[in-house]
Structure 1
Amino acid sequence: MVTSTTVQTRSLSNTPVNNEAAPAAALAHHEKRGGLKVIDDILARRAKAGKLVAGIAAASNSDMFKGSTDDMPSAKRWDDHLTRESRARGPCTLKQAAKHLKQPGIISLGGGLPSSQVFPFASLSMTVPTVPNFHEADTLTSGQTLSIGKYDVRDEVADYDLSIALNYGQSTGSAQMMRFLTEHTEIICQPPYKDWGVCQTVGSTGALEQALRMFCDKDRNDSVLTEDFSFSTALETIHPLGVHVFGAAIDDQGLLPEAMDEMLTKWDASARDGARKPHVLYTVPSGQNPTGATQSAERRRAVYAVAQKHDLFIIEDEPYYFLQMKTYPPEAQAAVAPSPPESVQDFVESLLPTLVSLDTDGRVLRMDSFSKVLVPGSRLGWIVASAQIVERFQRHAEVANQGPNGFSQVILHKLLDETWGHEGYLKWLMNLRLEYTAKRNTLLAACEEHLPRDLVRWTPPVAGMFHPDAGKRDLKAIEEEIFDSCIQNGVLIARGSWFQAEKEKPLSGLHFRATYASASAESMSEATSRFAAAVRKSFRKA
């Protein structure tokens, strides 16, 4: 789930960051963000609006649910960045026709919406934690049992039910979840331009594939800029599209703005297989996969400034955003349990600014997901972007996935909106961050106990490893040797070459990614010991 320790040979530079990069207006806007104040405003707005009425395949957008943005500027237009395919997509006629269903008394013979009477689910029930008792054992003893019926809306016991969720819907997803996610975006991001919106997705990988097709065309020799070690699945999504990928240098805070600027300023297509200068940046600012690097607030402003200078459109992938952690403590304090924020307000204020919250141009498409913070199997996420980009994204979704899963939407709506509410969900995230901080500390303590200090040195969560035979043998061969030895010893650890952005380049060092997402403390210790044995074996052979 969360990248923790990367064993590698690169030495990380501490290049100064440009602290003046972000527009002052965007910075001030972010500093005004107030979690509980925004939640209070949302609750007051809901009370004034009254009961949400949204039936089968109801069309919705964020403008229906967000607060006033009249005093904000509009986003820039991105026509010249979009592909021919994206510009050519028109609305789905059958989806558009669904808007007439809200007319009272209408009898529909025009669409393929089945009757809910034939759905074989009369109700669903589930037991969930009661805020703030989130531990599994607590749920078994004090959890709430929730029920979702087929006709809860008709019977006026809920705003959302199975008759709506299990039928066809809009590519944006249900109006009920659109409201929750729009409000959540206001609480966390507060985009500083007026015409922003959200659209639900089937998870971030599917969202990335659609976004890439919107912005990248192999016929234009388009290319994507990313970290020089990037999420392997993202790279495997990009490469088959015939789109070039180029990696920018990183340090312990992720992307180096100065390196980005130099690469783009000196871009020579003839030296890069004819590739057009990148006009899209794909980045994971928090807990970057695989390095674990997190961009500071200053670094994010500087990266955004480079994007403005070179007119990069940014795809911000933030599955780990709420799992931001304090620096790993000294050895003597490593066993001390991490302390929680004093309040939801403190938690929200502790979070680094999202790139969306700094985005005065509307040049960021943010991908978010419930996969890392609730359940991966929900396959439910969302994007935040300007209205133009959201509308283009919808057009792709209408003829691809058609929209997110109805079961996932109605179950998560029951949990997040009807039961926990925004404040309860933020308390869940606070607890989750504590859980993963403790796991991170456990894995790093295991590194300190087992990894040979004469061969390995690390600065949590990034580690460096040097091999005495590296000048004589191909590094990929050494990497494979250590990986195979790990498998033989009964431990799986990810090879760094899987994450290299420019696959044709030789490895600059040995890298392995370890994660603390699911293993127990005992298993992490044993796995680290087995990995250490594989490292020692390779070094002895050298």
Structure 2
Amino acid sequence: MPPPSAIHVEAVTDTAGITLPDPLTAPIKSNEIYGRRKKTAKGQWSVAAPSDSVNFRYSPRGGDKPMAKRWDHFVSHEASIRKGNSLKQAAKFLGNPGIISLGGGLPSSEYFPFEELSLKVPSRGHFSEAETQESGVVIKVGKHDLANNKSIFDIATAFNYGQGSGAAQLLRFVTEHTEYVHSPPYEDWRCTLSIGSTSALDMTLRMLSRPGDMMLSEEYTFATAVETALPLGVRVVGVSMDAEGLLPEAMDQLLSNWDASVHGSAKPHLLYTVPTGQNPTGATQSTERRKAIYKVCQKHDIIIIEDEPYYFLQMQPYTGPDAPEVAPPSSHEEFLDTLVPSLLSMDVDGRVVRLDSFSKVISPGSRIGWVTASEQLVKIYQRHADVSSQGPSGMAQLILWKLLDEHWGHEGYLDWLMHIRLGYTSRRNVILNACEKYLPKDVVSWVPPMAGMFHWMKVDFTKHPDYPAKPIETIEEEIFMRVIEKNALVMRGSWFYANAEEDHQTMFFRATYAAAPAEKIDEGIRRFGEAIRAEFGLETNSNGQ
């Protein structure tokens, strides 16, 4: 049956009416998502049940959305010949009512030494540790809750083998979340679970690159991304940055003038970027910057790997140490409206491979994230996962699902994201206030981060008393060790070069405000400032330095 029309008219009087938006096409609120869920058979949730995230999208499909482009010309030989796990093809029959399985080598849950799992978690709106200790809710999972019709996910199911796509129960939640937050503007997008963004990046590179390729990234980038790429034979070429991150004009110029004989590689077809709260610089690309980057990628046929662990840690503006704090958003809709739109939300070609993760917003130890991309690329990813990671830990999936889907729901999860955003905003303000107090501004400068966990400080090494007799590398090493002598730790900017072989004539240090309490952040910056003053031969200031 076709979907209903976008509008309908409801009578007010015999001769008048009002036009109402159709409930299936009007923008929805977070508390309406569950009401849009399609009914499913119990077999959908059984052990190792195969699933396709398209079945978990709540909006009517079809209409005027384009289909994704095909990426066969970029798919690696390894990915093209991978057939997935043939034995798991039989799993789709396990949900048949009354079937007697003598096929797959699934252990009997009778021999799982876990009968019940109990978790104490925050109730909605009472998220602090103190509140959770005082009034937290204990949620329980039994071994056979699915068979006993108590829940659609239980120990017997989650603790057994699963699919590379992850458990259908959690896949449904992240698919709904992705649709609600990003609403990808092409038709055949899919989600699949990962064991975190680093693993997802490794698998994506193996899908879409070959030894000898080069990949674009910000000139300072997540060190692990470079370390993931290099053993695969993929070198990273850095693109110039400013306070908003990667410069699209610089990327366009680099690609337009690409000389394979100079670079020793064909023109890149991959861009790895962290658009929000970039690690290490803390830079956040504006909406216009993201649109410009996407256009350059369309022009040069670039696939974008959008790594976004800090997306929901976009913060209130920093207004100075003595200025009143900006009021936080008052609703989920207002909160989402304050976020810079993702590249995924602009993607009409299916050229964005978005990597999401629970690591920075729930727990790194969960080792669960998800990938959103075109159907073609997601299916390739799932085939790889089926014969490597086999998907995330079932134990972790069950815990997250009980918290996110059954306990908090989409509303509660957004409440939580708003809560931790405020927490990290407060920590960000502490480190910036400390920098204002303790750092010599004629030597150290910075741009207040708008998101994430990192503060990027530029040091004018040309004012060092030993410059130019000592090169930048030596001065950076001496400053780093002087900070260590003061019993503080910051990261050297050179550790984040996209390409360490290129000439770099700027010096940065990265600090994080993620974990330390406020007084430790303040003291750490004071010690950093003390080390800088000592290294540059500067006098102490009124703060005792």
Work out whether the TM-score is over 0.5: yes
Aligned-partner Cα distance in 1 for 2:378–2:516: 38
Aligned position for 2:312:
322
Aligned position for 1:476:
473
8 A contact 1:122–1:150 mirrored in 2: yes
- Look up the SS of the partner of 1:191 in the other structure: coil
Aligned position for 1:172:
165
Equivalent of 1:434 in 415, 422, 425: 422
Aligned position for 1:307:
297
8 A contact 2:48–2:163 mirrored in 1: yes
Aligned position for 1:82:
75
Give the superposition deviation at 1:540: 2.2
Letter in 1 for 2:60: S
Give the superposition deviation at 1:443: 0.5
Give the superposition deviation at 1:239: 1.2
Equivalent of 1:352 in 340, 350, 353: 340
Letter in 2 for 1:105: G
Aligned position for 2:391:
403
- Look up the SS of the partner of 1:331 in the other structure: coil
Change (3 A) 1:206 1:382: same
Aligned-partner Cα distance in 1 for 2:335–2:467: 45
Unaligned runs of 5+ in 1: 1-33
CA deviation map 1:488-527 (0-9, x unaligned): 2211111101100011123221111000000011111111
Give the superposition deviation at 1:51: 6.8
Aligned position for 1:516:
513
Is 1:212 the equivalent of 2:197? no
CA deviation map 1:410-467 (0-9, x unaligned): 0010000001000110010001100000000001111111112232233323543212
Letter in 2 for 1:321: Y
- CA-atom RMSD, angstroms? 1.7
Aligned-partner Cα distance in 1 for 2:481–2:89: 54
Give the superposition deviation at 1:45: 2.0
Aligned-partner Cα distance in 1 for 2:154–2:407: 14
Aligned position for 1:230:
221
Aligned position for 1:21:
none
Aligned position for 2:17:
none
Aligned position for 2:92:
99
8 A contact 2:320–2:433 mirrored in 1: no
Aligned-partner Cα distance in 2 for 1:86–1:194: 23
8 A contact 2:79–2:380 mirrored in 1: yes
Aligned-partner Cα distance in 2 for 1:386–1:271: 34
8 A contact 1:371–1:377 mirrored in 2: yes
* 4+ residue runs over 6 A deviation: none
Correspondence 1:376-391 to 2 at 5 A: 376-391=364-379
- Look up the SS of the partner of 2:381 in the other structure: helix
Letter in 2 for 1:234: A
Equivalent of 1:506 in 493, 503, 506: 503
8 A contact 1:493–1:513 mirrored in 2: yes
Aligned-partner Cα distance in 1 for 2:41–2:48: 20
Correspondence 1:142-541 to 2 at 5 A: 142-218=135-211, 221-272=212-263, 274-333=264-323, 336-461=324-449, 462-467=456-461, 468=463, 469-540=466-537
- Look up the SS of the partner of 2:537 in the other structure: helix
Aligned-partner Cα distance in 1 for 2:28–2:41: 20
Aligned-partner Cα distance in 1 for 2:406–2:480: 47
CA deviation map 1:96-154 (0-9, x unaligned): 12112122222222211000000011011011101111011011111100001101111
Give the superposition deviation at 1:319: 0.1
Give the superposition deviation at 1:304: 0.3
8 A contact 1:476–1:507 mirrored in 2: no
- Look up the SS of the partner of 1:102 in the other structure: coil
Unaligned runs of 5+ in 2: 1-24, 450-455, 539-545
Give the superposition deviation at 1:46: 2.1
Aligned-partner Cα distance in 1 for 2:351–2:84: 23
8 A contact 1:189–1:354 mirrored in 2: yes
Q: TM-score, normalised by structure 2?
A: 0.90
Aligned-partner Cα distance in 1 for 2:443–2:489: 21
Equivalent of 2:130 in 115, 137, 154: 137
Aligned-partner Cα distance in 1 for 2:362–2:403: 11
Give the superposition deviation at 1:52: 7.9
Aligned-partner Cα distance in 2 for 1:79–1:516: 43
Give the superposition deviation at 1:41: 4.8
Is 1:55 the equivalent of 2:49? no
8 A contact 2:84–2:387 mirrored in 1: no
8 A contact 1:35–1:344 mirrored in 2: no
Which protein, 1 or 2, shows the higher relative CO under an 8 Å CA cutoff with sep ≥ 6? 1
8 A contact 2:490–2:511 mirrored in 1: yes
CA deviation map 1:19-67 (0-9, x unaligned): xxxxxxxxxxxxxxx9971535522222755878410000001111113
Letter in 1 for 2:365: G
Aligned-partner Cα distance in 2 for 1:269–1:470: 36
Change (3 A) 1:50 1:398: closer
Q: TM-score, normalised by structure 1?
A: 0.90
Q: Percent identity over the alignment? A: 51
8 A contact 2:173–2:405 mirrored in 1: yes
Change (3 A) 1:434 1:305: same
Change (3 A) 1:126 1:40: closer
Aligned position for 1:70:
62
